[in-house]
Structure 1
Amino acid sequence: MQSIALIDYGSGNLRSAEKALVKAGEALDGARRVVVTADPDLIARADRIVLPGVGAFAACAAGLHARSGVTEALEAAVRGRGTPFLGICVGMQLMASRGLEFRTTLGLDWIGGEVRRLTPDGAAFKVPHMGWNDIQVAAPHPLFEGLGADSPMYFTHSFAFFPDDAAAVAASVDHGGRFAAAVAHGNMAGVQFHPEKSQAAGLRLLANFLDWRP
């Protein structure tokens, strides 16, 4: 049975992410078990890892590091063993080198770059960026299999991840300026939007992640 570790570090939004992962898995062959956990041993042994996130970068980083052994387990599983990883919203942002929300806070530094406040060009584009937007896939990737070239996803955020290497941007979105809607590198991927709130398109992306074999 495939195990999916959904990391609990006090960031909230776990229940909706858990339900969406379970629902996405039901459409696939093979048994899957979603475990909400902060147990380093379970994380290290998981077949898939999902890091959600809601709120401020610094608070989420502090919450993650406060869970004994969790960051070490993530490093061992994701970067050591090559476990497929998906970061959602701030969970994606934590993959960056640093976040600039309120103060400079170090991230996991899995994909070089920084998280900084959105500065849209035009008064019509509000911050927080909240609502439905089409994402534009930059290059073919298994996460986006079966999705249209422009797929609507649900966003709610004020900060975005700007990778150092443009090749890390798997999909982009335009909100008074273009920025990363998704990043990917090797066995690691992250999405700025909330697939668990993005209806059929979001469920398809989660199902693709559960079937992904990087």
Structure 2
Amino acid sequence: MNVTIVDYNSGNISSVINSFKEVAKNKVNIEVTSDLKKIKFSDKVVLPGQGSFKSCVDALNNINGLVDTLNEFAINNKKPLLGICVGLQMFADIGYEEIETKGLGWISGKVSKIDNQNGKLKLPHIGWNEINILKHSRIFKNIKNNSHMYFVHSYEFIPDDKSVISATTDYSTKIVCSVEKENIFGTQFHPEKSDAEGLKVIQNFLKL
């Protein structure tokens, strides 16, 4: 099985790469590339994202044909794709970080700044927080409800269709921290930084 981690110059993704390789234990071929052909013929794709919504969308668009290849992979061919942090946020139609920016439009909704209750809560939301699993999700197999995951973000994804939400976390309001829609999976938390439970999420994705 070939799993591609898309490297599109969106910040440091070394911890994502290391975690996937650790879980794969040489049984799964992990490739880190922006080569369109390799992405197209992968069995699964991981879309990481660090930085702002706009900078990540711009970085995707800067690689000619990459967005079309990802659309073909996830939407037309319905192969499994996992978005992490801003990788998940880019599933939205639109994001409001820096300036209004068009997303991939895979899951209708928007990305807005977390309501920090007029400065009562610190932004970015950094650190460990409990997740509340709302529905059966294949990437949460053997993960207990209220497990702690690691977060670093100031913006949240608000999908129009609430049925895609697989887990939330409490920070000011109930923030979407994972989604599942058919073959598309996303986590707002960083599984690669979430110790054993995070590695289980990665393992579950690799085993799909």
TM-score by length of 1: 0.94
RMSD over aligned Cα atoms: 1.2
Give runs of aligned pairs for residues 161-172 of structure 1, distance below 5 A.
161-172=157-168
Instruction: List per-residue Cα deviations over 1:63-98 (Å, max 9, x = no partner).
Output: 001111111111111111111000000000001001
Rounded Cα–Cα distance in structure 1 between residues aligned with 2:175 and 2:13: 26
Instruction: List per-residue Cα deviations over 1:127-151 (Å, max 9, x = no partner).
Output: 1100000100110111001111111
Secondary structure of the corresponding residue to residue 103 of structure 1: coil
Deviation at 1:123, TM superposition (A): 5.1
Deviation at 1:121, TM superposition (A): 3.7
Matched, 1:141 2:137: yes
Secondary structure of the corresponding residue to residue 150 of structure 1: coil
Paired amino acid for 1:169: I
Paired amino acid for 1:17: V
Deviation at 1:13, TM superposition (A): 2.5
Instruction: List per-residue Cα deviations over 1:153-193 (Å, max 9, x = no partner).
Output: 00001001000011111100001111100011000010001
Rounded Cα–Cα distance in structure 2 between residues aligned with 1:12 and 1:47: 24
Rounded Cα–Cα distance in structure 1 between residues aligned with 2:112 and 2:93: 12
Deviation at 1:124, TM superposition (A): 4.6
Unpaired runs of 5+ in structure 1? none
Judge conservation of contact 1:135–1:151 (CA < 8 Å) in 2. yes
Unpaired runs of 5+ in structure 2? none
Count of residues in correspondence between the two structures: 208
**Counterpart for residue 14 of structure 2:** 15
Judge conservation of contact 2:24–2:30 (CA < 8 Å) in 1. no
Matched, 1:25 2:28: no
TM-score by length of 2: 0.97
Judge conservation of contact 1:129–1:156 (CA < 8 Å) in 2. yes
Paired amino acid for 1:75: N
Deviation at 1:44, TM superposition (A): 0.5
**What is the percent sequence identity of the aligned residues?**
36
Paired amino acid for 2:21: V
Moved over 2 A (4+): 120-125
Matched, 1:128 2:127: no
Judge conservation of contact 1:122–1:176 (CA < 8 Å) in 2. no
**Counterpart for residue 54 of structure 1:** 50
**Larger deviation, residues 116-125 vs 180-189:** 116-125
Matched, 1:39 2:42: no
**Counterpart for residue 200 of structure 1:** 196
**Larger deviation, residues 83-92 vs 118-127:** 118-127
Rounded Cα–Cα distance in structure 2 between residues aligned with 1:15 and 1:155: 17
Judge conservation of contact 1:182–1:189 (CA < 8 Å) in 2. yes
Rounded Cα–Cα distance in structure 1 between residues aligned with 2:152 and 2:193: 10
Rounded Cα–Cα distance in structure 1 between residues aligned with 2:105 and 2:84: 16
**Counterpart for residue 87 of structure 1:** 83
Paired amino acid for 2:132: Q
Paired amino acid for 1:107: G
